[in-house]
Structure 1
Amino acid sequence: MIDSFTGYLNALPHRDKAVRDIQTLLKFLARSGVLTMLIVAQHGLLGHNVGIDVDVSFLGDTVLLLRMSEHEGRLRRNITVVKKRHGPHDMDVRELLIESSGVTVVPYNPLPEV
């Protein structure tokens, strides 16, 4: 896991070469059966601005978008599949629950508008 990949790229002096090297590393890890996660930092705590400084979507087979929202003092984490290279994928937004018993993905229940 590289968290945050954005910070990692910003720390490197030669970004173009680094992206090529990372692409080679990711291919090697995939051939070795290793799941690799690249975490890209998102500007804005509650996900109002989802733009990132660098497009790295071509590096991954699957791209997930995790957004946070707040309602009545509670933080909600929403997750959706943005890209899946091989085969179809569900386009629905789901809620990601992180609890002491583990991590669960459940159907998204939109909150009523105020």
Structure 2
Amino acid sequence: MPQYAALIYAADVDWSRPEFADVTKEYGAFGEAAAAVIRGGAALYPTGTATTVRVRGGKGGDVVTTDGPYAETKEALTGFYLLECADLDEAVKWAAQLPGAWDGAIEVRPVIDFGSQAG
């Protein structure tokens, strides 16, 4: 069965803070309701904790790191779920139930299964 990444774009805040406990409970409820299709996922700390990595000159080149995200935006990638669904329609139905969809956006993208292409 195909898998889909549900990428959550929401306010760039620290969701582990107590003032976001109500939203965290909503994600817990989603996790219980969607347990049959969830194959993984995680919440991410704010973009201020990110490190951007680039390799100058291609493979084997100089590794350059920068504190912070790749781009400054109002909404940031704050978490993701890996969903195993029959098709895109089912994945979209589950994504619409994510709290991030209510005041942000959920990007649903099919996952390439390189393991099944081995031969």
Q: TM-score, normalised by structure 1?
A: 0.29
Bigger RCO (CA 8 Å, 6+ sep): 2
| Structure having the larger proportion of residues in helix | 2
Q: Report the TM-score when normalising by structure 2.
A: 0.28
